[in-house]
């Protein structure tokens, strides 16, 4: 039995509300009008136990499922109430979770000589999943593990090159067919987070087809500036957040942009904001309607928002250990590894922070809203 | 007459939202801010004002090198006392780098000072603020006054370095004054640590959490400042030139100033520090932390010779390692049991992200 059938049957059993949601195939199941969006994230408890959690932004817990390995990013299925919590580098277990109750549907274990890098995407057909992976026999050789939903399970069917070293985040371009890959450029071995090639890093931004064909590969000026995370606007604008591995007192372009048809280049961030980031960015998000880009810098304990088009700074705010960020209707939701989560209302000129009724602290680097 | 006045006062207090007796965390945060942090920042501003005067006076031949050096050591001590109090504006925007450049593994301070005095022999404080952070602060100031290869008794050399010395003094004074004013401004840091909620802290617990976080970071940094020259990350091979303030032999006195300051955040003035937030049943933990500070102070007091001399002998290194271990106990207690007892999550993305 296909996982699709199984879940549809369960949904039918839950009544017409779910039926209509599933029938229409969209993600209306949770994001019904007037209902607070579902926030998915990896989170720890005070004892270091890892969890895959789902909370409504209003603070209601949907699930908190204990998992063996720490997760990083989360990707939901386009038309089923399931999501993959992806293992954090160099993790070997990703978790397929039922978003209605947090039930663990499947633990996806990485292949021998492979580990996950924390990020994945699911194709709009709902049939294919691509996860960034490391070939530890040739440390850092970037791969996308290709998985298919078959008989209730995700099965690995093969792998394709990311055309770069140490891939991190992978995202879809708006066509839902072209993949963007942030190749961090850093070689690491199995079971290790120690960088092996800081003197010869090869970070790059790659655009490629699903069949593995390379479309473009671009780099930034500084070789030690690791391209890690991306957000992609509906018009195809890519923004990328970097982590700089060079000397502490040097300045680095920690936010970059590739507008449609233009080269990959530094976003015009003022020196004052660059200095505040402590060479490290965690998550980046785009608000399509408001044309804003948001960035978390947990080492600098700083959260930023800029106008995506003009580059004007809209917010530069202290937020200890700010972690994941995602766009909601009127602004951005931000989580923190230390303090309370915030909603930043971005409708007015002066952006206002409102603390959310979510549990405080211990949120991991990314959040995913559905 | 008396009664309405009282009423007015308490109403005003309520309106300000300050010191609601039901919120010990708000009281503690406000007390640490006003009784511990702000006075230390004020002392730092005073020390840097004196530093600016001192540089000018020395370069004009109105005071001697010993006085100039003493004023540097005073500013260095004031800065060291700020280490466990690096919260708010000074902790942001890489500003700490502009005050002290440490660690300096490749002698960037020496090399960049030499390049700068050649390239810009008459540098102003304003021009200095646009230069590399390496040459803007106390580390460069110390290099000029203490480096063995510089002879300030020689008029030519003095003329070579003096413009930069004066510029650093001015720069540090301006920086310190700027930071202090951002503490005292409306909705400034002092207010944000005293009245909740505000745009920085959603509640008083967040403020206490950040106070502890900077404390833990500072204690960890003290370990690094000792452990690096001790060679703890270089297979036991001592690295005396990687100590902070090694040229002026102020490494241990700086550690002492930082440790004393950390202890003040813990103990507070009138017991309104972090210790005061522990419930009665946590007295064993409070005693344990008190004892850890006492032990660390005892170890440090026994270290009479300068760090460089201690590093040169086996016995000295043993003493330093014992002191390191005692610092480690203080650090671990704050990071572990104290954080837990206060219900504080210290954050993990900042140190262990991806």
Alpha helices in chain B (DSSP H): 2-16, 24-31, 38-59, 65-82, 95-99, 108-119, 125-128, 138-146, 155-184, 189-192, 204-230, 251-267, 283-301, 307-311, 314-333, 339-341, 349-352
Q: What percent of chain B has pLDDT over 70?
A: 92
- Per-residue model confidence (pLDDT) at position A33: 53
Indicate yes or no: CB of A360 within 8 angstroms of CB of B94. Answer: no
Sheet with A331-336, side-by-side order of all strands: A322-328, A331-336, A342-345, A352-355
- Any chain B CB within 8 A of the CB of A282? yes
- Per-residue model confidence (pLDDT) at position A191: 82
What stretches in chain A show pLDDT beneath 70?
Answer: 1-34
Helix (H, G, I), strand (E, B) or coil at A249: coil
The helix-helix angle for B204-230 and B314-333 (nearest 10°) equals: 170
Indicate yes or no: CB of B202 within 8 angstroms of CB of A342. Answer: yes
Banded model confidence at residue B2, pLDDT cuts 50, 70, 90: very low
As a 3-state breakdown, chain A gives helix, strand, coil percent values, each rounded to 5, of 10, 50, 45
Quote the tokens at residue B28. Answer: 């503690």
Rounded Cα–Cα distance for residues A346 and A353 (Å): 9
Helix (H, G, I), strand (E, B) or coil at A250: coil
Indicate yes or no: CB of A338 within 8 angstroms of CB of B197. Answer: no
Residues B52-111 pLDDT 10s: 999 999 999 999 999 999 999 999 999 999 999 999 999 988 889 999 999 999 999 999
Indicate yes or no: CB of A362 within 8 angstroms of CB of B348. Answer: yes
Q: Is the pLDDT score of B10 beyond 70?
A: no
Query: Which residue's entry shows tokens 């650093």?
Result: B168
Q: Is the pLDDT score of B212 beyond 70?
A: yes
- Give which of B106, B348, B351 to mutate to test A binding, by max A Cβ within 10 Å: B348
Which residues make beta-bridge pairs with A319? none
Residues B16-60 pLDDT 10s: 444 455 799 999 999 999 999 999 999 999 999 999 999 999 999
Cβ-contact B39, B74 below 8 angstroms? no
B301: CB partners within 8 A, 6+ apart: none
Sheet with A114-122, side-by-side order of all strands: A114-122, A128-135, A141-150, A153-165
Q: In A, which residues are within 8 Å of B99 by CB distance?
A: none
Residues B183-207 pLDDT 10s: 999 999 999 999 999 989 999 999 9
- Per-residue model confidence (pLDDT) at position B13: 41
Q: In A, which residues are within 8 Å of B206 by CB distance?
A: 320, 339-340, 360
Q: In A, which residues are within 8 Å of B88 by CB distance?
A: 318
B337: CB partners within 8 A, 6+ apart: B285, B288
CA distance A318 to chain B (A): 6
Q: In B, which residues are within 8 Å of A46 by CB distance?
A: 340, 345
For B211, name the nearest residue in chain A, comparing CA atoms only. A320
Banded model confidence at residue B8, pLDDT cuts 50, 70, 90: very low
Spatial CA neighbour of B49 closest among B65, B70, B71, B34: B71
Q: Which residue among B108, B201, B350 sits closest to A298, beta carbon to beta carbon?
A: B350
CA distance A15 to chain B (A): 40
Q: Which residue among A282, A362, A364 sits closest to B345, beta carbon to beta carbon?
A: A362
Chain B interface with A: residues with Cβ < 8 Å = 88, 91-94, 97, 101, 108, 132-134, 197, 199-203, 205-206, 209-210, 213, 340, 345-351, 353-354
- Give which of A252, A361, A362 to mutate to test B binding, by max B Cβ within 10 Å: A361
Banded model confidence at residue B238, pLDDT cuts 50, 70, 90: very high
- Per-residue model confidence (pLDDT) at position B21: 57
Angle value at C-alpha B349, between A91 and A51, nearest 5 degrees: 55
Rounded Cα–Cα distance for residues A238 and A232 (Å): 5
Q: Is the pLDDT score of B308 beyond 80?
A: yes
Indicate yes or no: CB of B200 within 8 angstroms of CB of A318. Answer: yes
- Per-residue model confidence (pLDDT) at position B350: 64
Q: In B, which residues are within 8 Å of A249 by CB distance?
A: 97, 101, 108, 132-134
Query: Which residue's entry shows tokens 């020390």?
Result: B47
Q: Please give the DSSP secondary-structure letter assigned to residue A76.
A: E
- Predicted TM-score (pTM) of this structure: 0.87
Interchain CB contacts (distance < 8 Å): A and B: 93
- Per-residue model confidence (pLDDT) at position A145: 98
Instruction: Write b or e for each residue in B60-79: b if 16 or more Cβ atoms lie within 10 A of its Cβ, otherwise e.
Output: eeebeeeebbebbbbbbbbb
């Amino acid at each position: 039995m296909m996982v699709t059938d199984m879940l549809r049957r369960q949904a039918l059993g839950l009544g017409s509300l779910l039926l209509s949601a599933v029938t229409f195939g969209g993600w209306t199941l949770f994001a019904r009008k007037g209902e607070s969006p579902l926030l998915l994230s990896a989170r720890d408890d005070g004892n270091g136990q890892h969890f895959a959690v789902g909370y409504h932004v209003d603070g209601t817990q949907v699930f908190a499922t204990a998992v063996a390995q720490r997760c990083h990013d989360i990707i939901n299925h386009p038309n089923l109430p399931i999501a993959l919590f992806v293992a954090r580098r160099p993790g070997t277990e990703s978790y397929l979770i039922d978003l209605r109750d947090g039930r663990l549907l499947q633990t996806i274990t990485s292949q021998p000589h492979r580990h996950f890098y924390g990020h994945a995407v699911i194709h709009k057909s709902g049939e294919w999943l691509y996860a960034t992976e490391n070939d530890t026999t040739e440390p850092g050789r970037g791969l996308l593990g290709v998985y298919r939903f078959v008989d209730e399970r995700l099965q690995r069917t093969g792998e394709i090159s990311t055309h770069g070293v140490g891939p991190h985040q992978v995202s879809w371009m708006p066509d839902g067919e072209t993949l963007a890959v942030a190749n961090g450029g850093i070689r690491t071995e199995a079971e290790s987070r120690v960088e092996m090639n800081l003197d010869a890093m090869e970070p790059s931004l790659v655009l490629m087809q699903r069949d593995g064909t390379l479309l473009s590969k671009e780099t930034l000026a500084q070789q030690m500036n690791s391209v890690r995370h991306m957000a992609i606007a509906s018009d195809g604008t890519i923004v990328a957040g970097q982590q700089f591995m060079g000397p502490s007192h040097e300045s680095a372009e920690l936010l970059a942009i590739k507008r449609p048809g233009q080269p990959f280049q530094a976003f015009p961030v003022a020196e004052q904001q660059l200095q505040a980031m402590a060479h490290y960015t965690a998550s980046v998000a785009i608000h399509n309607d408001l044309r804003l880009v948001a960035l978390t810098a947990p080492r600098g304990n700083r959260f930023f928002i800029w106008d995506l088009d003009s580059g004007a700074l809209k917010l530069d705010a202290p937020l200890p250990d700010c972690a994941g960020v995602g766009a909601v209707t009127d602004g951005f939701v931000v989580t923190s590894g230390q303090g309370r989560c915030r909603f930043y209302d971005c409708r007015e000129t002066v952006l206002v922070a409102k603390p959310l009724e979510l549990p405080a602290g211990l949120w991991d680097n990314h959040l995913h809203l559905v | 007459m008396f009664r309405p006045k009282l009423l007015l006062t308490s109403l005003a207090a309520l309106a300000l939202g300050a010191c609601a007796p039901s919120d010990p965390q708000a009281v503690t945060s406000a007390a640490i801010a006003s009784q511990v942090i702000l006075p230390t920042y004020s002392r730092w501003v005073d020390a840097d004002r004196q530093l600016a005067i001192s540089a000018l006076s020395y370069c004009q031949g109105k005071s001697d090198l010993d006085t100039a050096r003493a004023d540097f050591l005073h500013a260095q001590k004031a800065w060291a006392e700020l280490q466990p109090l690096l919260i708010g504006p000074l902790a942001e925007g890489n500003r700490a780098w502009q005050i002290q450049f440490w660690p300096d593994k490749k002698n960037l301070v020496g090399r960049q000072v030499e390049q700068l005095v050649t390239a810009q022999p008459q540098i102003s404080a304003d021009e200095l603020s646009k230069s590399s952070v390496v040459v803007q602060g106390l580390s460069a100031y110390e290099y000029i006054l203490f480096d063995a290869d510089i002879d300030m008794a020689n008029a030519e050399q003095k003329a070579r370095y003096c413009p930069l010395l004066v510029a650093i003094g001015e720069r540090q004074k301006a920086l310190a004054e700027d930071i202090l004013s951002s503490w005292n401004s409306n909705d400034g840091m002092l207010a944000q640590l005293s009245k909740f909620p505000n745009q920085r802290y959603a509640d008083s617990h967040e403020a206490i959490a950040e106070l502890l976080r900077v404390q833990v970071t500072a204690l960890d940094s003290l370990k690094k400042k000792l452990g690096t020259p001790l060679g703890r990350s270089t297979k036991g091979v001592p690295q005396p030139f990687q100590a902070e303030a090694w040229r002026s032999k102020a490494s241990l006195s700086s550690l002492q100033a930082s440790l004393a300051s950390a202890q003040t955040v813990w103990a507070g003035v009138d017991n309104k520090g972090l210790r005061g937030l522990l419930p009665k049943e946590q007295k064993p933990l409070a005693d344990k932390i008190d004892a850890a500070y006492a032990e660390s102070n005892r170890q440090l007091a026994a270290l009479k010779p300068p760090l460089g001399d201690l590093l040169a002998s086996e016995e000295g290194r043993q003493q330093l390692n014992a002191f390191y271990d005692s610092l480690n106990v203080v650090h671990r207690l704050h990071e572990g049991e104290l954080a837990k007892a206060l219900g504080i999550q210290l954050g993990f993305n900042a140190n262990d992200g991806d």
